[in-house]
Amino acid sequence: MDIVVFGAGSLGSLVGAALAREHAVTLVGRADHVDAIRENGLSLGGELEAEVEPRATTDGEGLAAELAVVTVKSFDTAAAAETLATGSFDAVLSLQNGMGNEETLASGLEAAVLAGTASYGAILRKPGVVECTGVGEVVVGDWRGGRSRAAERVGDAFASSGLETTVSDEMPRRLWEKLAVNAGINAVTALTATQNGAVLETPANDLARAATRETARVARAEGVELSNRDALAAMEQVAGETAANTSSMRQDVLADRRTEIDAINGYVVDRAAEWGLEVPTNRTLTTLVRAWERGRGCR
Ligand code: KPL
């Protein structure tokens, strides 16, 4: 399959390197990373290994492929949709954190839009070198739920590259479950400067569980069947499996970059307000991370 990975950060590079073992991959990324890939190829190390030579470019305009995998930060989704609209794709898969990305892509693109979640741990060590710090799972499916031929094909392409892949016909629930996981882990680890496993220990555990429970409650208000028990089990399972990993929000904070707080805990706060629900833990986490961003001049 011809695949464009749009947003070659940590996760995009990991997925791109794995896919390039079996497919014709073009990575769209930053200049230093693109230069390194053109010179020495892309090296994937850690718990997944690959030395591959995908095409790499900084210019995402006018590309054509069967599939575009979107891995940009959630606040860059609208810009990504505009750029992708200058090219031609049969399907576009969002493999991003946070909610609302699929709507943004669907409103700007003709292609079939798929939703995805990925729980692999990834760190971009230096330009051209990405490390898999935890084997997780990729789940793909139609973003509105239900069976989809496009999702089956994309699932096969991922699985044939050695990525643990599940095709799901209940993506809305999966996306809320992933949101509950990220709401529990990301801001807490970013603010306490800890690895993901710290949310299993007191006192971070109380905070993470409260944020996760609140998210599940909002999901239920939205008509999604996600019990507190399932959401908490998912959050603690991911925290356990990625215990030694640095969450993406902590990586952003360490690099003085804008975080995805608006699309994670901030999204929970916004949806809760629509339903008249109180989500004090998500509200506090959102306020603190936004205050950090303002202090660093990155919002
Ligand atoms: O998605 C993640 C992230 O860091 O954004 C988890 C699953 C928490 C893995 O670190």
Q: Among 123, 164, 182, name the best residue to mutate to test ligand 1's pocket (greatest count of ligand atoms within 8 A of Cβ).
A: 182
**Integer Cα distance of 173 and 167 in angstroms:** 13
Atom 5 of ligand 1, nearest CA residue: 248
- Judge whether 106 and 143 are in contact, CB under 8 Å: yes
Q: What is the pLDDT of residue 8?
A: 97
Closest ligand 1 atom, residue 251 Cα: 4
Q: Count other C-beta atoms under 10 Å from residue 93's C-beta.
A: 32
Helices and strands (H and E) in the chain: how many: 11, 12
Residues 56 and 80 in one domain: yes
With a 6 Å cutoff on the Cβ, whether 189 touches ligand 1 is: no
Instruction: Locate 121 and state its tokens.
Output: 């741990």
CATH value at residue 102: 3.40.50.720
Distance 181 CA to ligand 1 centre (A): 8
Residues 205 and 262 in one domain: yes
Angle 42-46-47 (CA atoms, 0-180°, nearest 5)?
A: 115
Closest ligand 1 atom, residue 136 Cα: 7
Residues 142 and 207 in one domain: no
Residues 100 and 229 in one domain: no
Q: What is the pLDDT of residue 121?
A: 87
Taking each helix axis from N to C end, the angle separating 171-192 and 204-221, rounded to the nearest 10 degrees, works out to 150
- Where a domain ends, among 115, 148, 169? 169
Q: What are the residue ranges of helices labelled H in 21-167?
A: 31-40, 77-84, 101-108, 149-160
- Where a domain ends, among 169, 194, 222? 169
Residues 162 and 202 in one domain: no
Write out the chain's pLDDT in tens, 299 residues: 999 999 999 999 999 999 999 999 999 999 999 999 999 999 999 999 999 999 999 999 999 999 999 999 999 999 999 999 999 999 999 999 999 999 999 999 999 999 999 988 899 999 999 999 889 899 999 999 999 999 999 999 999 999 999 999 999 999 999 999 999 999 999 999 999 999 999 999 999 999 999 999 999 999 999 999 999 999 999 999 889 999 999 999 999 999 999 999 999 999 999 999 999 999 999 999 999 999 999 98
Residues 125 and 190 in one domain: no
Total-model pTM: 0.93
With a 6 Å cutoff on the Cβ, whether 242 touches ligand 1 is: yes
Judged by DSSP in three states, 297 sits in coil
The reply to whether omega before 203 is within 30° of 0 (cis) is yes
Q: What is the pLDDT of residue 279?
A: 98
- Judge whether 30 and 1 are in contact, CB under 8 Å: no
Q: What is the pLDDT of residue 204?
A: 96
Distance 185 CA to ligand 1 centre (A): 7
Domain that holds residue 284: 172-296
CATH value at residue 278: 1.10.1040.10
Residues 131 and 6 in one domain: yes
Q: What is the pLDDT of residue 267?
A: 97
Catalytic residue among 178, 213, 250, 283: 178
Distance 231 CA to ligand 1 centre (A): 15
Q: Which residue has the tokens 């741990």?
A: 121
Residues 137 and 203 in one domain: no
- Judge whether 49 and 75 are in contact, CB under 8 Å: no
With a 6 Å cutoff on the Cβ, whether 245 touches ligand 1 is: yes
The number of residues in the chain equals 299
C-alpha distance from residue 133 to each of 11, 140, 292 (Å):
11, 21, 27
- Judge whether 112 and 150 are in contact, CB under 8 Å: yes
Residues 57 and 205 in one domain: no
Q: What is the pLDDT of residue 299?
A: 82
Residues 114 and 246 in one domain: no
Query: Is residue 178 annotated as a catalytic residue, yes or no?
Result: yes
Query: How many domains does the chain fold into?
Result: 2
As for the ipTM of the complex, it is 0.97
Residues 165 and 279 in one domain: no
- Where a domain ends, among 169, 194, 212? 169
Residues 180 and 146 in one domain: no
With a 6 Å cutoff on the Cβ, whether 248 touches ligand 1 is: yes
